[in-house]
Amino acid sequence: MTGAMRFSLLLLSALLFSSTACLAKDAGRTVQTDTAHFYMKHSFDVLRYSLDIDLFPCYSTPYPKSFKANIQITFRADSLLSMIMINAVNSSLTIDSVNGNASSFVHTNDTLRIALDRNYLPGDTAEVRIYYRHLNVVDNAFYTSAGYVFTDCPPEGARKWIPCWDRPSDKALWDLHAKVPTSVRLASNGLLNDSTSNGDTLTYHWKTQFPLSTYLITISSKVGFLIHKGFWHTLSEPNDSIPYLLYYKPNENIGITDSILAPITDFYSEIFGDYALEKIGFSTLNGSFPWGGMENQTMVNLMPGGYANGDLIAHEHSHQWFGDMITCGTWADIWLNEGFGTYCAHLWTENQSGYNVYKNKMNLLANYYLSNNPGYPLYNPSWALHTPPGYKLYNVAISYNKGACVLHQLRYVLGDSLFFEVMNSYATDTAYRFKNAITEDFVVKTSSIAGSDMQWFFDEWVYSPDHPVYENTAEITDSGGAWRIHLTIYQTQVNTIFFRMPVQFFVNFDDGTDTLFQIINDINPQSFDLTFAKRPLNLSFDPFRNILLKKSNVLVSIKESPGAEGEDLLQADPNPFSQELRINYQVARPGNARISLIDSSGRTVKVLADGPHDKGRFRIIFSGDSLPSGGYIIVFETVNNREQKRVIRL
């Protein structure tokens, strides 16, 4: 663990949770998790795809998208099997023939149904070879232009250019023979087994040692591609080395990526276990690929200029652990890929620039989520059965930002030591390495390492939508030398559940000391009373914003000893304000007093105080975190007086 990882704000051990009753599991959700396990199973298991593809014509004008190919699919029967169904999109692919252990085929409705030559028992292996043509069509999976040929498959685009069983749960080996002009450099998954030249034709033979999901299969090639080669030495065996290949265009600057790739691999290997795949590979594409990056196993595709973006490199490279080596079992578990990738990139920022920079970036992720939350949970059980549209599956606010923020909040709840033990144990567990995992697997792993049932945490933050909205109040009262704080924590969100969490608050005192308190908020609303011999000046809720995914307000009212006879008075500062607004007011005579916040349209945004007051001086500290910027009016009304102050929220 690096020095930047040592920061921890928890004052109480996470073992507090073992003595607090956990939330009951939602029966419906548990059934849905079992369903996810079920849908990872299939009537057969693909063991290997062996593709022989002729791309030679695709690199010259007019850059056709048509090609001829054949693919051998080797599979094992997982049930009594007389037929297999393969995904093959009719609008992209024409099937010419099928042989091997096949007797006939029908290709309709984007499905290739192959009748086998006999009944196969569970455990039997067989193979079919499919001869087919890719049509000269735009299918958003196979791309040709300006000397480039590449593929981009997520979530289920592989079926548009190769017949396959196109689900993330069926990982298989990949063997590619690709014919191209001798001027072309072509990359794919795994290692280059050999390349052979015959006249003006070059045949590349790429082969994987480890299985991969079909959406992670790639071809990345270009006329005149340049290749930068190097080696990364494993931490556990420094004499062992893993090659890294950077494919780039002439005059393209790869310096940033080349300088940080080895340190990033060291860093992730230290936390999650050694990089375990065959090679490290990156390539930059053209404007037909504008989406940042795609974490194809051992060969990441980048948008133009991607080599200059260190955050992008850190995100995509972390997927080789979370997304590639361990792949989401169903699309309902996509946050195990994208949430983890986003969070790991920010861990790299923490390692390089410190916790504060990391935390500022995490705050930005949370702010984007809070402004763009579409209102569905991280885990959608229906997605295990039916693949959602790409804009939902890869929703930035949910799958990326909320997923990353949930991991930060898990770190806050567990503390650094347990959190990073969870991450390492998950990444190195042979039950998941080079295989698939679903969300429930990560829940079980977390509970095992934490030593207590952590299901409650995931029920709140992963299986339920939205986030808590806190409308908290704190009343500070002078009781003749003894000061009392009455704190009420109240969640007001709708369309979701109550969020049980450890919550922290700072109390600032007049002697210059600050004290951090932590309590378990496990009922709603919940009140606490604290008494001090010194004068509290202010109270801040979740001062370090460890509960990233929330909206919150704290109204702090301070009642001091009665002041001298005089007039009702109102003050508000600072003005303009960005976060906290301190409202000081004096009530000259006992009676009802009301403080209201009015926006520029005259609408009452918030009633900050309304009720009987003794004579005296009072203070309200209002958090403007969730308040839009603009002009507002503070209105102070008593029986005998009405005052107002204009304030500006920056």
pLDDT beyond 50 at 4? no
The residues, any chain, with a CB within 8 Å of residue 52's CB and separated by 6 or more, are: 69, 70, 71, 177
Provide the percentage of residues in the chain whose pLDDT is more than 70.
Answer: 92
* Distance between CA atoms of residues 560 and 214, nearest Å: 68
Distance CA 153, CA 174 (A): 15
Burial (CB count within 10 angstroms: exposed 0-12, middle 13-18, buried 19+), residue 13? exposed
Structure confidence at residue 593 (pLDDT): 87
Scan for tokens 């034709």, then name that residue: 201
The answer, yes or no, to whether residue 29 has pLDDT greater than 50, is: no
Q: What is the pLDDT of residue 561?
A: 59
**Cα–Cα–Cα angle for 380, 385, 388, rounded to 5 degrees:** 60
Listing DSSP states for 91-147 in one string gives TTEEEEEEEESEEEEEEETTEEEEEEEEEE-TT-EEEEEEEEEE-S---SSEEEETT
Is there a contact between 149 and 224 (Cβ–Cβ < 8 Å)?
no
Candidate from 267-276, 286-295, 359-368, 512-521 with smallest mean pLDDT: 512-521
pLDDT value at residue 408: 98
The strands making up 569-573's β-sheet, listed across from edge to edge, are 526-532, 483-489, 469-478, 551-559, 616-623, 580-587, 569-573
Reduced to 3 states, what is the DSSP secondary structure of residue 433? coil
pLDDT at 312 over 90: yes
CA 419 to chain centre: 16
Question: Rg of the chain's alpha carbons, rounded to an integer?
Answer: 30
What's residue 36's pLDDT? 58
- For residue 358, the model assigns a pLDDT of 98
Q: What pLDDT shows up at residue 16?
A: 28
Pairwise CA distance, residues 123 & 56, whole Å? 39
H/E segment holding residue 596 = strand 591-599
- pLDDT value at position 11? 27
Pair 11, 518: CB distance under 8 Å = yes
Report the pLDDT value the prediction gives residue 22, as an integer from 0 to 100: 31
Q: Which residues have a Cβ under 8 Å from the Cβ of 358 and sit 6 or more positions away?
A: 4, 346, 347, 349, 350
Encode pLDDT of 540-552 as tens digits.
899 999 999 999 8
User: Are 343 and 450 spatial neighbours (Cβ–Cβ below 8 Å)?
Assistant: no
Question: Among the listed ranges 28-42, 339-353, 371-385, 492-506, which one has the minimum average pLDDT value?
Answer: 28-42
> ∠ at Cα 53 (52, 57), nearest 5°?
155
Helix 403-414 / helix 439-450 crossing angle, nearest 10 deg: 10
Share of the chain above pLDDT 90, in %: 72
Distance CA 151, CA 578 (A): 47
Is residue 379 pLDDT above 80, yes or no?
A: yes
H or E element, residue 233: strand 226-233
Mean pLDDT of the chain: 90
Give yes or no for residue 226 having a pLDDT over 90.
yes
Q: Mean pLDDT highest for which of 99-108, 561-570, 633-642? A: 99-108
Whether residue 27 has pLDDT greater than 60: no
Distance (Å, rounded) from C-alpha 347 to C-alpha 455? Answer: 25
Q: Answer for the pair 521, 543: CB distance below 8 angstroms, yes or no.
A: no
614 or 421, greater pLDDT: 421
| pLDDT given for residue 56 in this prediction | 98
- For residue 61, count CB atoms less than 10 angstroms from its CB and return exposed for 0-12, middle for 13-18, buried for 19 or more: exposed
Token pair, residue 364, equals: 């930005």
Mean pLDDT, residues 288-295 taken together: 95
Q: Lowest-pLDDT range, 164-173, 230-239, 387-396?
A: 230-239
Q: 220 has which bridge partners?
A: 150, 187
The reported pLDDT for the residue numbered 34 is 53
Cα–Cα distances in angstroms (integers) from residue 427 to residues 268, 362, 405, 510, in the given order: 11, 22, 19, 49
What is the reported pLDDT for 567? Answer: 64
